[in-house]
Structure 1
Amino acid sequence: MNSIRMHSVLALFLLLLLLPWRSLAAESNDGFCSLPQPIMESSSRPLYWKVTNPTLSPSHLQDLPGFTRSVYKRDHAVITPESHVFSPLPDWINTLGAYLITPAMGAHFVMYLAKMGVKSKSAVPPQDVERFLFVVQGSAVLKTDSGISHQLAVDSYAYLPANYKHTLESDETATIIIFERRYASVENLYPEPVIGSTEKQPLLETPGEVSCTSW
């Protein structure tokens, strides 16, 4: 009888111990260890909101150190927003930058995010370095030594040849994606600045899946 009673008490204890976990599984459609569904995006968010904001789920773990989707391999890297580390950009005024790709990682170019603040101003690229920029938030003004100014809103881009004197200024806040690399000269070819917007470019047919090119 004592053995039967002991087994009954043990079975009851195990049942009570498992009840909370069974409740969690019952509340989830995917069963045990399933993650909460991500919050649906608001239509009021900026167009490129995901470029600078973590979108991890569950939300209460987004600020946990080391919790990231970033991947770094020999020939490619994906640095997601939760891994961005911002610090003042050298020679820029009131601007923070987060480097995403650098030659130290094996690339032949530099890619970084520039968060321009109020009354901010860019620095000039190093000698013989060409620059490409794309606006993902806010707006900025591209000024050249010839006195010409270009208002760059979201979706605007600019290719600036090596040693092309210019500045990028913002009276409010703006976020810019910038690529820079040392220009590889080609005989009798002298590139010109290219400034435009993706909104004014025709859509290209891309049948099937399009993959990114590694460096």
Structure 2
Amino acid sequence: MARIATGIGLSIYTSCSSSDRDHTHQSPLKDKMNLRSLLLPLLLFLSVIKGKKAEEGMCSVFAPSCDTDSKPLYVKVTNPTLNPSCLQDLPGFTRSVFERDHALITPESQVFSPLPDWINTSGAYLITPAIGAHFVMYLAKMQEGSKSALPPKDVERCIHLKGFIMILTFYFSVFQVDSYAYLPPNTEHSMKCDELATIVIFERRYAQIGINVPELRIGSTDEHPLLETPGEIFELRKLLPTSGPYDFNIHIMDFNPGEYLNVKEVHYNQHGLLLLEGHGIYRLGDKWYPVQAGDVIWMAPFVPQWYCALGKNRSRYLLYKDVNRNPL
């Protein structure tokens, strides 16, 4: 009995008689045929394994088009194709850009550190007043035993869950992926998590007008109907009411491959954007940027902006927009 070990946990057993061994030196052609008969099943097995790995979506820098249908929603936000580990052999490389009126902050340059007053949570501040914005946008990565802190006085907060589950204790609501909550200024609340969870958070100092105040809002993206977008073909959902008490809104915008913004927008509103799915081309000012899931964009007032979705799958992004306030 002879045993051939392949090194991947596969063993092939063959047997031969003593008379066969005695004649081995007399039949080289037969030896080659026997060897081929042994190697052929091994090669077939290895090809199956290779195909299986490809089917499982072993994405890399060189294979960004892997099928992610079987993976969690928004998996590219927390596990982007071009992540820091993929770029370890490219010292100094980043797609991030900071300009006077816009910024592109890509995953390889997002810096996480402990969030002040939060428990067992790391965060990356992506947009702040230091960049020229009047709001803050950051990612929070919670894990077992995590607990949030309150925002400063008179600051409102909107959270959108990207991965796994957490509990909002004020409303005692269990959050699934794609859930969100708007918390008016000075609302007592906390977020707790016993597993990994990634949250995108928007905060700004509330601009009060009149006596009306915004109300607590909790829901999920799919609960909101598609809205009319005259002259456009993308799909739009607004997560917050459009009434006067609310001084900003969060839009969810979907583009099929090849769809694009018809209007080349220039307006007084500011934007904070997180690309949740897909990839495409974003124009900001006079520059053109390839973007993909996990990228964050800041757009200052009056910067020319335009987007086109590319690839085979839809693009979806989450967009902060200030509304309902006179620019003066």
User: In angstroms, what is the RMSD of aligned CA positions?
Assistant: 2.2
Cα offset, 1:62, TM superposition:
5.7
Cα offset, 1:71, TM superposition:
2.1
Show the 5 A alignment for 1:53-92.
53-56=79-82, 60-61=86-87, 64-92=90-118
Could you say if the C-alpha distance between residues 169 and 39 of structure 1 is closer, same or farther in structure 2, counting changes exceeding 3 Å? same
C-alpha deviations, 1:55-106, integer Å up to 9, x for none? 239x953663432222222122221111111111010011010111111111
C-alpha deviations, 1:89-138, integer Å up to 9, x for none? 01001101011111111111110000001011000101111000000001
CA distance in 2, matches of 1:93, 1:53: 23
Cα offset, 1:49, TM superposition:
1.7
> What letter corresponds to residue 158 of structure 2 in structure 1?
F
Matched, 1:156 2:179: yes
Identity %: 60
Could you say if the C-alpha distance between residues 205 and 56 of structure 1 is closer, same or farther in structure 2, counting changes exceeding 3 Å? farther
CA distance in 2, matches of 1:60, 1:89: 26
Show the 5 A alignment for 1:156-175.
156-175=179-198
> What letter corresponds to residue 201 of structure 1 in structure 2?
H
Gaps of 5+ in 2: 1-60, 234-259, 272-298, 301-328
| Aligned match for 1:191, one of 200, 204, 214 | 214
| Aligned match for 1:121, one of 147, 155, 179 | 147
The aligned length equals 177
Ranges of 4+ aligned residues in structure 1 off by more than 6 Å: none
Using the size of structure 1 for normalisation, the TM-score is 0.75
Using the size of structure 2 for normalisation, the TM-score is 0.50
Contact 1:53 1:81 in 2 (8 A): no
Bigger fraction of residues in strand: 2
CA distance in 1, matches of 2:109, 2:197: 20
